[in-house]
Amino acid sequence: MSARLGVVSRPDFSPAALPRIAAAVDAAGIDELWLWEDCFLQGGIAAATAALAATDTLTVGIGVLPAPLRNVGTTAMEVASLEAMYPGRIRVGIGHGVQDWMRQAGAAVASPLTLLREYVTALGRLLAGESVSLDGRYVRLADVQLEWPPAQRLPVLIGGTGPKTLRLAGEIADGVVLDNQYSPATLRAALEHVEAGRADRDGESFSTVLFVSCTPGADPGEIGVGGSIEKIAGCSAPYLDAGVDTLVLQPPASTESAMPDFVATVGEVAAHLRSATR
């Protein structure tokens, strides 16, 4: 299986449960654990640190950090520190944030797209070890340079749903993070916007991460996957065929107590997909 399989640990689960969930995901042979920074539940950086510390090989993705809530210099420092401590095991996505939450936190901006463009551009340069000066509409930096930049390239992904944001991801980011609203058909339509942004970036590596709702033991509708191990694997194939390289299975809400079983199921799905491509 060339694609990677992941699991979501929902932010409405207790933060105290995260190390156990991460360890179970690692032990099940699943490639990645993805975390959300939803307001006002769990902090993405703190949660990622705990998950990384509890595991040996697991890749941990943050999908996504809301740009309005975080100074780009702080984000660069924190992400670079995680990469130094756990090299090659962190993935980071940046997004607009839910606008109602951004207003609630006093962080909303008039042009979220402008902020995201400035932010992701600056973050990528900082993580590359550059000295960055920028006098943008929202991001302003004066000769900022990390003392401990990542030793290897650390991709920055953009999370979003609107056509303009998807196109921006294709234009300036190293990948895109998509939520669980897509059927295989609507996913292909969304990725057309991403590809339009990538028109002048032929040959550059790019990752497409997709969250998909998963209900083991229950037949899925048009959107998501479910049923038996074999059916979940079969329902996953159209998403992978559409261009997804990282498929992240999302458990139903309020299933914290069922996470051990959910993780075990995803581990079996991963094994099934790998054996099917040998």
User: How far apart are the C-alpha atoms of 64 and 61, rounded to whole Å?
Assistant: 8
Average pLDDT over residues 234-257: 93
253 band by pLDDT with thresholds 50, 70 and 90: confident
Q: Read off the pLDDT of each residue in 250-260 and give the average, rounded to a whole number.
A: 89
Closest CA to 67 of 118, 129, 103, 131: 118
Would the pLDDT of 34 be above 60? Answer: yes
Q: pTM for this structure? A: 0.96
CA 240, distance to chain mean position in Å, is 16
Mean pLDDT of the chain: 95
Residue 197 scores a pLDDT above 80: yes
63-96: per-residue pLDDT in tens?
999 999 999 999 999 999 999 999 999 999 999 9
Q: What residues form DSSP beta bridges with 247? A: 5, 210
Distance of CA 112 to CAs 14, 21, 92, 179, Å? Answer: 30, 33, 19, 18
Mark out the alpha helices in the chain (DSSP H runs).
18-27, 44-53, 72-85, 99-104, 112-127, 163-172, 184-197, 229-241, 259-276
pLDDT at 268: 97
| Rg (alpha carbons) of the chain, rounded to whole number | 18
DSSP letter for each residue of 61-129: EEEEEEGGGS-HHHHHHHHHHHHHHSTT-EEEEEE---HHHHHHTT---S-HHHHHHHHHHHHHHHHTT
Assign 163 to helix, strand or coil.
helix
What pLDDT, on the 0 to 100 scale, is given for residue 236? 95
Say which residue, 219 or 244, is predicted with more confidence.
Answer: 244
Each residue's pLDDT tens digit, 87-144: 999 999 999 999 999 999 999 999 999 999 999 999 999 999 999 999 999 999 999 9
pLDDT of amino acid 278: 59
> Which two tokens mark 141?
């930096």
With pLDDT > 90 as the criterion, what percentage of the chain qualifies?
92
The secondary element (H helix, E strand) that includes residue 216 is: strand 207-216
Tell me the pLDDT band of 202, cut-offs 50, 70 and 90: confident
> Tokens at residue 162, please?
């609107």
- Calculate ∠ Cα 261-264-269, nearest 5°: 125
Please count the other Cβ atoms lying within 10 Å of the Cβ belonging to residue 198: 19
Burial of 167 (0-12, 13-18, 19+ CB in 10 A): buried
Average pLDDT, integer, range 146-161? 97
The residue segments making up the domain with residue 66 are 4-276
Would you state the structure tokens that stand for residue 34, as one six-digit string? Answer: 């993805």
Please give the tally of structural domains in the chain. 1
Judged against a pLDDT cut of 60, whether residue 1 lies above it is answered with no
Handedness of CA 85, 43, 69, 33 (dihedral sign): positive
SS3 205: coil
Q: What is the CATH number of the domain that holds 34?
A: 3.20.20.30
